[in-house]
Structure 1
Amino acid sequence: MALIRKLLRQKKAQKLQKKRYVHKLIKRTKKGIDPLDGSPQARALVLEKRTVEQKQPHSGLIRVVRTQLIKSGRQVTAFLPREGAEKHIAEHDIVTIESVHGAQGGAKGAIPGVKYLVIKVNGVSLEQIRRGKKQKPIK
């Protein structure tokens, strides 16, 4: 058993010496796939508001926004948390999004394909705007 472990360790060390293998590893990591490029949050421009139907066995409509990330130009769909949040977001607003922390970096619960969550609108917390504690700045 110890000999096999030693051989596997040596093989891994040899692979890491090769540039091509290391580049392939980097591509497969989260930073290579993730639209946020490994960062916890990102700013995005709202393109449109949508409603998405939940997966079985749940029913109901979920409010989401289609956004374009400012730093990479990629388009992602972000979930609007709680009731009434969609009233405070308009097209062309700058929002801050973060991951919804689903299993293995994927979607959470019955929301199909939505991996991100809106937390700020024009630099102010969406929750504070929704509760009426702060007003949304006009840009």
Structure 2
Amino acid sequence: MGYGEFAGTSMEKKRRKWKKKDVRSIKKLRARNNITKDLLEGAPQGKGIVLEKRGVEAKQPNSGIRKCVRVQLIKNGKELTALAPYDGAIKFIDEHDEVIVEGLGGAQNGPKGDLWGVKYRVTHVNGISLEMLRTGKKEKTKR
């Protein structure tokens, strides 16, 4: 290993090679990758536009079709599937509505329960809480 005036390039090459074998740098790399996997990019909630309604089948041993919506996030243009929670909530969500989504609360930001691949849920539709719409305390605004 050179220590001279022009040894910088070869030293950098060797450092890059051995960094892949260092435990601490591997942990940092894994942590950085987990942050980028999150579609909301670390934010607690995200705003998006509904593209379509869809039914997602529950995993075994449960059966039934869970009502979900396909949402495109405004901040980064990525698409995700979000659950419309509770009875009749899907009736208040139409295509091209603006919705706010948040995490479902599964282990390690993953899916919860029998919903495979659904990691988010809808909380607000056009600025009004989905719970208020569902219980009839507020009405959906006409746009």
Shift, 1:29, TM fit: 3.2
Instruction: Give the alignment's TM-score, normalised by structure 1.
Output: 0.81
Partner of residue 55 from structure 2, selected from 51, 55, 73: 51
Which residue of the partner structure matches residue 41 of structure 1? 45
Distance 1:82 1:22, change over 3 A: closer
User: Per the alignment, in what secondary structure is the counterpart of residue 66 of structure 2?
Assistant: strand
Which residue of the partner structure matches residue 129 of structure 2? 125
Structure 2 runs not aligned, ≥5 long: 1-21
Partner of residue 93 from structure 1, selected from 97, 113, 116: 97
Partners of 2:94 and 2:104 lie apart in 1 by: 21
Shift, 1:23, TM fit: 7.7
Which residue of the partner structure matches residue 136 of structure 1? 140
Letter in 2 for 1:24: L
Q: Percent identity?
A: 48
Shift, 1:138, TM fit: 2.1
1:47–1:67 CA contact under 8 A, matched in 2: yes
Instruction: Give the alignment's TM-score, normalised by structure 2.
Output: 0.79
Partners of 1:42 and 1:51 lie apart in 2 by: 22
User: Per the alignment, in what secondary structure is the counterpart of residue 27 of structure 1?
Assistant: helix
Shift, 1:28, TM fit: 1.4
Does 2:21 correspond to 1:29? Answer: no
User: Per the alignment, in what secondary structure is the counterpart of residue 67 of structure 1?
Assistant: strand
Shift, 1:22, TM fit: 9.1
Which residue of the partner structure matches residue 68 of structure 2? 64
Partner of residue 78 from structure 1, selected from 77, 82, 87: 82
When the two chains are superposed, the root-mean-square deviation of aligned CA atoms in Å is 1.8
